[in-house]
Structure 1
Amino acid sequence: MLRIAGLSKHLGDFTLTDVNLTVAEREYFIILGPTGAGKTILLETIAGIYAPDAGTITLDGRDVTATDPKDRGVGMVYQDYMLFPHLTIEENIGFGLLQRGVEPARIQESVQEIAGLLGIDHLLGRTPGTLSGGEQQRAAISRALVLRPRILLLDEPLSALDTGTRDRFRKELKAVHRATGTTVVHITHHFEDVFALADRVAVMQDGKVVQVGTPDEVFRRPATEFVAAFTGMENVFYGVSRIQNGETVIDLGGISIRTATDVEGDVCLGIRPEEVIVSREPFESSAINAFPGTVTEVRQNGIFSRVVVETGVPFVAVLTRQSIARLDLAEGKEAYVTFKASAVHVFMR
């Protein structure tokens, strides 16, 4: 549906470098990355706001690299809504159709249909200033969708919303995507958006795409140290990997970890905190990595707690408050960490 090949763009001190991506028909594709990674510039280049210095953009097999933005069949929604304050919500949603010369009766019918899908059909007579942030964002998305774009580009659409509204909006976006079948490219730095919405995700760093895959692939098998750290792997260590007696052992200096990889040499490994089991006694399981240690930190973080156990290297685990209380975990107390060989992800340094 969308193919980006060798795309580069230089803007001031920032450079988008050799971006290659494909997005399938009806796919919900999320671009993830920290602030300044180049997500918005990439989106605006796809939309035609910027002309690339190199590379091509193809939509439905048609090269649109030099095509005027209005002729690309692309809809774009920014996080700050950009609604016309002097127009009603109905007029805002129908503005693009009016510019296209669509008959008033047809505009009204289309606006009612899309507003109903987004749950704002009862707000059509209001002006943007009288709506909540979530209602304004629904109106902005309706304005883009009413034009029936081939692809919808969303620039941090949930960032300006409070937590409760953001959670509800994710469910609505998923329902709208399912109902319309519109291909979506959505940029964000919220991991919750990825797991709630994405079919696939691309991670950007300093103007480059460094990994593409399903959410599970990216979060559980990061391709680089940056992706591991950015996606919250936390337990990231450097060591030397060697195959001994048919199994791979990674020497971290203080301890040695067994893993399923066949990579040898200097490596970086990562283990997600939720893969680490903490116990007060040796834990009986099929997991082959188990180390005694001392709890050095217990920090509350909402319904979960972050526990650090020093075993020669510091392991971070995530436990519920109930588990903390049941295990009587506290700083200075002895504990064991246990994890499977398959939980250890290894990549070259």
Structure 2
Amino acid sequence: MLQIQNISKDMGEFFLDSVSLDISKGEYMVIIGPTGAGKTILLETVAGIYEPDGGSIHLDGNDITRAPPKERNITMVYQDYMLFPHLTVEENIGFGLKSKKVPSDEIHEAVQRYAEMLHIAHLLHRYPDTLSGGEQQRAAIARAMVMNPWALLLDEPLSALDSKTRENLRKELKDIHEITKTTIIHITHNFEEVFDLADRVAIMNEGKIVQVGAPDEIFRRPKNHFVAEFVGATNVFKGISTSENGIASIKIGDIIIRAHSEIEGDAYISVRPEEILISTAPLASPIRNAFPGKISDIRHCGAMIRLNIDIGVTFVVALTRQGFEEAELGIGDCVYIAFKATSVHLFPGKSTTE
């Protein structure tokens, strides 16, 4: 277990504000958040590059808060590779082991293993300036992994690569994690990396961690308005909530939406587009939230069609292409939408970070 407890660090423009996070051994944790949220400082503090102003870091029960980086058995890879230009790929990957005076045959065996895992064994004789960006990043990851670290820290490792290379390296990272069971903490802005790689995801904003959970939980049930906006949640509206017997009634403009919640006062709701039913006739089922409306826009998004439905506020509804064609819907058509109270996620409107 890596336990980060109330870590604070003030570097002026960038800072950490009482960050706490527990990471299990073997977990793949992805951290996301806007630029300047404190993600890189958090990783560098865990790695020992910075000492925190307050708080503590424990690794397997041992306090490493002020331990030098070389004693932490934690390695870090940045997006810009940082390979030694005067060393071959093989020498780059084996550099850390050589500095620890590991026997040369063991170094060769370890380098070969990770080079093969990352599909660069045929490049071991080459120098970094002869490699593509993807090949250099594979070498940088191999150099970190060859040290058999307790944790591997990745700071946007795929952001500088083209889409095809990103896709391939994403798969290789997943394979490496499954094979080695190394604990990985990975910063990214790419939601595909979150869903493909993360066991859990932490969202940071203004030096704080504002939500932690499984990827699907984060995207389906954002904790607050900031998280909802950051993950691109659709159908987010602000209203006033009153609650009775566990059923909240949220007034948004001239409509009332009902949800299972005891939250009262200023609040936001979100409803996923695919959880909204649409019909050209009133729906007979006893769904708590049912409204007449009019189609104001239709967008073709690959296999899905997104319709904007004006019911006093504009809801986005998602249909499969087949369902859309069978319904024969067009702009200006009068329709009915409905969604269950359990499909409405309600969160307080007081703060963007709490």
Q: Same fold (TM over 0.5)?
A: yes
Deviations for 1:238-287, whole angstroms, at most 9, x for unmatched residues? 22223458743222122111212232333211112332334444456564
Deviations for 1:206-247, whole angstroms, at most 9, x for unmatched residues? 111111112122222211110111111121112222345874
The answer on whether the counterparts of 1:232 and 1:272 sit within 8 Å (CA) in structure 2 is no
The correspondence of residues 325-336 of structure 1 with structure 2, limited to 5 A, is 325-336=325-336
Distance 1:278 1:287 in 2: 12
Deviations for 1:89-116, whole angstroms, at most 9, x for unmatched residues? 1111111111111122211111001111
How many pairs does the alignment contain? 349
Using the TM superposition, give the Cα deviation of residue 324 of structure 1 relative to its aligned residue in structure 2, in angstroms: 4.2
In structure 2, the residue corresponding to 1:318 is in which secondary structure? strand
State the AA in 2 paired with 1:141.
Answer: I
Indicate yes or no: 2:125 matched with 1:125. yes
- Corresponding position of 2:17: 17
Indicate yes or no: 2:170 matched with 1:167. no
In structure 1, the residue corresponding to 2:168 is in which secondary structure? helix
Using the TM superposition, give the Cα deviation of residue 155 of structure 1 relative to its aligned residue in structure 2, in angstroms: 0.5
Deviations for 1:61-102, whole angstroms, at most 9, x for unmatched residues? 111111111221001011111122232211111111111111
Identity %: 56
The answer on whether the counterparts of 1:286 and 1:340 sit within 8 Å (CA) in structure 2 is no
- Corresponding position of 2:207: 207
Unaligned runs of 5+ in 2: 350-354
The answer on whether the counterparts of 2:243 and 2:261 sit within 8 Å (CA) in structure 1 is no
The answer on whether the counterparts of 1:233 and 1:273 sit within 8 Å (CA) in structure 2 is no
- Corresponding position of 2:114: 114
The correspondence of residues 1-349 of structure 1 with structure 2, limited to 5 A, is 1-243=1-243, 247-283=247-283, 287-349=287-349
In structure 2, the residue corresponding to 1:186 is in which secondary structure? strand
Relative to the length of structure 1, the TM-score reads 0.93
Distance 1:162 1:284 in 2: 50
The answer on whether the counterparts of 2:291 and 2:338 sit within 8 Å (CA) in structure 1 is yes
Deviates most, 69-78 or 257-266:
257-266
Distance 2:12 2:266 in 1: 37
CA 323–158 in structure 1, closer or farther in 2 if over 3 Å, else same:
farther
State the AA in 2 paired with 1:120.
Answer: I
Distance 1:115 1:31 in 2: 27
In structure 2, the residue corresponding to 1:82 is in which secondary structure? coil
Deviates most, 147-156 or 213-222:
213-222
The answer on whether the counterparts of 2:14 and 2:37 sit within 8 Å (CA) in structure 1 is no
In structure 2, the residue corresponding to 1:159 is in which secondary structure? coil
* Cα RMSD (Å): 2.0
Relative to the length of structure 2, the TM-score reads 0.92
CA 246–222 in structure 1, closer or farther in 2 if over 3 Å, else same:
closer
